Amino acid sequence: MLKNLGMTAAVAATLFLAACGGGGGDASTSGSSGSGGSSGTTPTRSAVTGPLTPVQNTVSTSLLQPLAVATSGTPLAGVVNCVDFAVNGDALNIVNSLANSVQAAATNPAAITGAAAQIQTQVQQFAADLQQMLTSLAGGAACNSTGSTTTVSGNPLAGTPLAALGEQLLPILANIQNTQSGTASLSTLAAQLSQLNTALNIVYAQLPSSATSAPVLGGVLTTVKATVANLVSLLQTAATGDATATSASLQATVNALLKNILLNVMPVNAVQASSGSTAISNPITAAITQVTALLGSGLSSNTPLATLQSTLNSALAPVLSVFNQSSGSGGATFLTTLLSKLTGTLSALPGGASGAAAVTGLLNTVLPTITNTLSSILGAVTGGGGTSGTCLFASVPLLSVLCI
C-alpha cells in the first residue's frame, strides 16, 4: 500500500530548502562506474540566492511537494521530487546566477562569463538530480537535500519500455558530473548540455506514448527535455558576455520553465484537455508572462535584489489563486480536490515494487489510474449544471466557463 501520505508542508519545505534557497548539505560520496554510468563525485548541494529564489520556494512548497506527497508510494513521487530539485532548483539557480551577473555587468563587464564556476556547480547538481530521477523511475530513492548520490551500476530501467532513457542519458550525466577539477567555461558547459539535449531528443522519440502523453510523467519528460534545450541556448548566449542578450534569454528560459512546471508537471493541461477550454491555464500563463517581464525590467533598471524578489513572488500570486479557488463545497479548492482524488485513488494500489516491476506498474496501472482520476475531475466540472455545490468552478469568473 502507499506510504507517507501524511507528509506535512513543513517537511516538504525542509526537503527543498537546500535545492534553491537554503544552502548546502554534507559532502556527497563517490559512485563507482558501471555500464550505465555512475554518479561520480556529486558536489555538495548548494543554492544560489537570486531574483527567483522566493518564486522557487513558493512553487516547491505550495505545489510540487504536495503533488509528490499525493503520489507517494509510486515512482511518480520520486520523479516529481526530482523535478523540484533539478528544474525548479538547479536550472532556476543557473538563472539566478546569471541574473545576478547581468546586474553586476553594469560595473564589471566580465561578471557574466565570471559566473562560470558557480554555474558549473549547478550544472553538475542538475546532472546528479536527473540521474536520481532515472533511479526513482525504477522505484528507487528520490532526490535529497544533500545531493543525489545513489550509485548507478548498469541501467536501472533495463528490460523496460523506458530503457532508452538510461542507455542514452546515464553516460552523459556521469561525464558531466565527472568534469575534471578547475572551472569550465560557459561555452564548455553549454557543449556538455548540448550532448544531453541531443540524447534527450533521440530518446524522447523512442519512448512509448503511454509515457510521453501521460499526466504528470509526460509533463516531467517534456519539462526536462525543454529545460535542457533552454539551458543550452542560455549558456551559449551568456558565453558572449552580452548583458542585453543574456537578459532576454533569461526571460525566455524562465517563461518556458515555469509554464512546463505549472501546466504540465502540475497536470493543469491534462485536466482541461478534453474540454477544449484554456480557462484554467490562461490566468496561469498570464501570471508567468508578468513574472518574466518584471524580471527583465528589474534587471535592466538594476532593481535591488530584495525588491525584485518581492515583486516577482507577488506576480506569482494569480497562479496560487487559480489552484486555491474554492470548489464551493466544504472548503475544497481545485488543488485540494486534485490532490485528494490522486491520493484516494492511488492509495488503493499496491506499492513498493522496484526495477522492471515498478516501471511496469507505473505504465500499466498508475498512469492509467491517474488519467481516469483527472477525467473524473473534469467530469465533475463539466457535468455540474452550474451549481456551486457540484461544479468546481461555478463561482469563479475566470473558470466558470468550464461549468456546463
Q: CB within 8 A of 266, min separation 6: which ones?
A: 63, 64, 67, 219, 323
Q: Cell numbers 496501472 correspond to what residue?
A: 365
Question: With a cut of 50, which residues of the chain have pLDDT below it?
Answer: 1-43, 380-389, 404
Identity of the residue numbered 359: V
The x, y and z cell numbers of residue 386, run together, are 452550474
Residue-level pLDDT at 383: 41
Task: Supply the DSSP symbol for 176.
Answer: H
Residues 129, 133: Cα–Cα separation, whole Å? 6
Residue-level pLDDT at 201: 97
Residue-level pLDDT at 349: 75
Residues 341, 173: Cα–Cα separation, whole Å? 36
The radius of gyration of the chain from alpha carbons, rounded to an integer in Å, stands at 21
Residue-level pLDDT at 44: 66
Residue-level pLDDT at 13: 37
Cβ distance 236 to 249 under 8 Å? no
Residue-level pLDDT at 176: 93
Report which of 136, 135, 203, 137 is spatially closest to residue 169, judged by C-alpha positions.
203
